[in-house]
Each structure stands twice: as C-alpha cells, then as structure tokens.
C-alpha cells in the first residue's frame, strides 16, 4: 500500500485521484512535506504555497467531473517569471520582481489548473532568466544529483524540484535553452515546443519571440501529458514512429567549443538506440553561419534591455547591467532583425529537407554542469564563458523557432546524468516525444534522487 505519493509520476497520481484511490489533498500534503524536508538545502523554490495549495487540492477533491481532468490532483511548480494569481512575479531576483502581485494566472497556469493540477509554489531562476546557472543574493539552487553542481538555468529551480521528487512535473520556459539545459543537468525530459504551439504571452518579456513555454518531467509520458495540457490538446498515447532518418552531429554552434568524452559517448549511445529501434542514422552537420551567432547575441542582449524597462537597473546584478548596456547598443544599431531570424529558420528547415532527415541528434551539453556557486556576483565575462563552454547546443533552435527535446541516456563517471538533444522540423513535437519514448523503453533511467 502506498504510504506517500512522493516519487509517483503525474500520470499515476492523476489516475489514482480520478479513480478515488487517492485524494488530491493527501497527494499535495505529501509533496509539501517533502519540500519542507528537502528544499532548505536544495533551494528550488522562491515561494511555497502551503495553505493555498491544500485549499486548492480540497477543491479538486470536491469536483464531480474528475474523469475529465488529465492532471487531477497533480502537484506542479511554476517558474517564477510566469504569473500566478496572488503572487508577485519575481523574474529571478528581488530587484527584478514586479512591484505588484498578479491579478490573474498566466494562460499556461490557467490551463494547468483547468486540468486539475495544484500549484504548490514558484521555482527559482537566475536574474531575468539570462544565465545557465541558478542563484542570486538569496541563495544558490543545487542539483539533486550532486549538491556541489548547478541544476542549470534558467529553469534551474524547476528542474531541481522535479529531479528531487518535490513535484512530478514543472512548467518552465526556454529562451536560449532554459528548459533543455536544466533537463540535461538533472536527468529529465525537457521539451521546448516550436514557435506558436504553446501560449507565451509575456508581452515585451519574451526576448523578441525567442521564449517558449514547456514542461520538465521524469518520464516521457508525463512530458507528453504536460505538453498536451499546455498546448490545449487532448492528451493521447504516443505512437511508435515508422522508420526514420536521423542526422547525427557533434558540431557545436560556437567555434572553439568541443563536447567532452562523456557527452560524445552519450550521442554514440543514442545513435545505437536509434538503430536498435529500426531507424537510420547518418552524419549530418548543420552549418551555423556567423550571422546566427551574432543574431542570437544581439537578441539576447536586446531582450535584457527591453525587459529592464521600469526596473531599478542600478540595483540589478553587475552582470545583468552590462547585458542591458549591450542590449541598448544592439537596439540603437538595429541588430535585432526579424528578417535574419526568418532566413535562419528557412535554412534550418531546408537542412532537414535537403538531407531527407526527420530529426537531428546532437549532444545536450558540451561539458559537466558548473559548480553551484554565486555566479550572480561573478563577472559578466565569467558567466558568458562558462555558459558557452558547457551549454552551446540549444540557442540556434530558439532562433529558428523549431522544436527540440532533451532526453537522458545514462550517467557520467561522476554519477551526474548524461543526455542528448533531438531537434525536429515544425510541428514535430509528438514525433520527438515518441522517439524519446523509444529511448526510455530501451534504456530506462533513474527518475529521481531524493535529497
């Protein structure tokens, strides 16, 4: 008999609540208890909604139409840059937070609640979501697999919470890898949908359209369920794909950066899994023009500048202030151009067509996740170099607006998770999830590491 629901998948919890085998109230209480035990050391949550979450769980239990709730009673976490009614929206630091509380939920939060999920809290991110490690003056967020390492960023708190069993799934968003990098660091499935598939609605804070909302989960089935809810789709079973042609590339988008041996090995493992599943793999390196890198940087800088409007800039971290200054210059020089992004999108789509590819396989990371230290007080250059050296593979696919997923495939010699990235053409989210499901069946991973 189950004594705690901590460690159960979202699908298992929702099924039990719909059947009456568990109450949403008990499920949420179990997870709140685990948060109280683990989060002081982990630092995944900015705010925990103890009383409010129990009240909302009781309302779920009182509903008569539980059969129609795909996430009935499932505890979820929301990234702190996404509006939750009754809370301020933090954006990664006290200086970046909104001065007022949100009057209503962001659309993706509304959809999660509408599916029966209970928001237990909001998770930490680096200031303004700019960095691939999560910390600020209030503390450092840590990786459940090794507390001396970062869980990544910017959805670092979300990934840490899921990997530590504090919630079975969490919402995140991805502007230059902010779902996929933490997923890779923490051994999770992390899906960045393609452009326009899931509501963003961040106004001017979407980095000129680079940002997409998505889901972090410990299983492919949970990732697919969460994605369906966020996208407003009817949840469906994943279908085993027919024979695919998958390109394999180790080429990093940034010159001078090379994947280390464990990450090369992860791609080798994934290639073998694809072959065992009946697919064909070929070497196929995308060409990353210099203009793409420059466009990504300019848009990243300019997003920080535009998002700083109305903030006390002199109170922001020094690294963020420099980013904002560079963004002001990028805007003044008209370096942020939709035409550049459209051209790269067309070229990226043509890469799949010209090589008769269904998907592209790359490393998820180039190196080991950095140490969990106060990057918020380190220099701008230190942040830039360390981010680029360990996580260079994600940004081009935000710039193109194509969907991409990160999937665990094993462990490094030090015990940290290993992962790979799969990228697809437009509207290939379900295909990416299906192939990820084949990986999971052939090579299951340890789902969580309770702290």
38, 93, 155, 178: the active-site residue? 178
Residue 327 tokens read as 């963004």
Picking from 168, 138, 163, 137, the residue whose alpha carbon sits closest to that of residue 149 is 163
Residue 67 tokens read as 């059969």
The question of whether 154 is a catalytic residue gets the answer: yes
**381: CB partners within 8 A, 6+ apart:** none
- Helix or strand holding residue 156 (H, E): helix 156-163
Cβ burial, residue 349 (10 Å; 0-12/13-18/19+)? middle
Q: Angle of helix 429-442 relative to helix 220-231, nearest 10 degrees?
A: 160
3-class state of residue 22 by DSSP: coil
CA distances from 117 to 24, 107, 131, 445 (A): 9, 14, 29, 25
11, 79, 192, 205: the active-site residue? 79
Residue 321 tokens read as 């202030």
Whole-number Å distance between alpha carbons of 240 and 196: 25
11, 38, 93, 154: the active-site residue? 154
In angstroms, how far is CA 101 from the centroid of its own chain? 24
The question of whether 249 is a catalytic residue gets the answer: no
The question of whether 178 is a catalytic residue gets the answer: yes
If phi > 0 it is left, if psi is from -120 to 50 it is alpha, else beta; for residue 275 that is alpha
Whole-number Å distance between alpha carbons of 436 and 421: 10
* Catalytically active residues, by annotation: 79, 154, 178
């Amino acid at each position: 008999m189950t004594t705690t629901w901590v460690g159960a998948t979202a699908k298992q919890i929702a099924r039990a609540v719909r059947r009456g085998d568990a109450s949403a109230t008990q499920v949420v209480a179990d997870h709140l208890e685990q948060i109280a035990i683990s989060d002081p050391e982990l630092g995944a949550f900015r705010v925990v909604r103890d009383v409010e979450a129990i009240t909302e769980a009781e309302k779920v239990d009182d509903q008569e139409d539980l059969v129609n709730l795909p996430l009935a009673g499932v505890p979820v976490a929301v990234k702190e840059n996404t509006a939750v009614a009754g809370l301020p929206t933090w954006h990664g630091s006290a200086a970046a937070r909104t001065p007022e509380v949100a009057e209503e939920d962001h659309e993706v939060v509304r959809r999660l609640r509408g599916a029966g999920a209970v928001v237990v809290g909001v998770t930490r991110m680096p200031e303004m979501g700019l960095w691939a490690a999560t910390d600020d003056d209030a503390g450092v967020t840590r990786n459940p697999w090794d507390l001396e390492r970062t869980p990544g960023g910017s959805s670092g708190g979300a990934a840490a919470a899921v990997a530590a069993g504090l919630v079975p799934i969490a919402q995140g968003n991805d502007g230059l890898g902010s779902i996929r990098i933490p997923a890779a660091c923490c051994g999770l499935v992390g899906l960045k949908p393609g452009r326009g598939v899931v509501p963003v609605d961040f106004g001017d804070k979407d980095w000129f359209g680079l940002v997409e909302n998505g889901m972090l989960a410990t299983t492919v089935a949970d990732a697919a369920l969460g994605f369906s809810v966020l996208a407003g789709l009817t949840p469906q079973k994943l279908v085993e794909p027919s024979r695919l042609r998958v390109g394999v590339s180790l080429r990093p988008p940034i010159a001078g950066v090379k994947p280390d041996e464990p990450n090369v090995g992860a791609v080798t493992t994934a290639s073998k899994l694809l072959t065992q599943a009946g697919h064909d793999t070929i070497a196929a390196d995308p060409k990353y023009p210099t203009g793409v890198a420059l466009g990504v940087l300019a848009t990243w800088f300019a997003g920080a500048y535009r998002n700083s409007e109305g903030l006390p800039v002199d109170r922001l971290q020094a690294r963020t202030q420099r980013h904002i200054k560079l963004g002001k210059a990028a805007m003044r020089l008209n370096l942020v151009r939709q035409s550049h992004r459209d051209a790269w999108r067309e070229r990226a789509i043509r890469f799949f067509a010209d090589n008769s590819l269904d998907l592209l396989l790359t490393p998820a990371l180039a190196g080991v996740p950095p140490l969990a230290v106060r990057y918020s007080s380190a220099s701008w250059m230190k942040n830039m170099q360390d981010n680029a050296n360990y996580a260079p593979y994600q940004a081009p696919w935000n710039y193109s607006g194509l969907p991409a997923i990160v999937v665990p495939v094993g462990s490094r010699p030090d015990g940290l998770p290993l992962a790979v990235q799969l990228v697809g053409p437009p509207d290939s989210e379900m295909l990416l999830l299906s192939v990820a499901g084949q990986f999971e069946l052939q090579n299951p991973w340890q789902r969580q590491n309770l702290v």
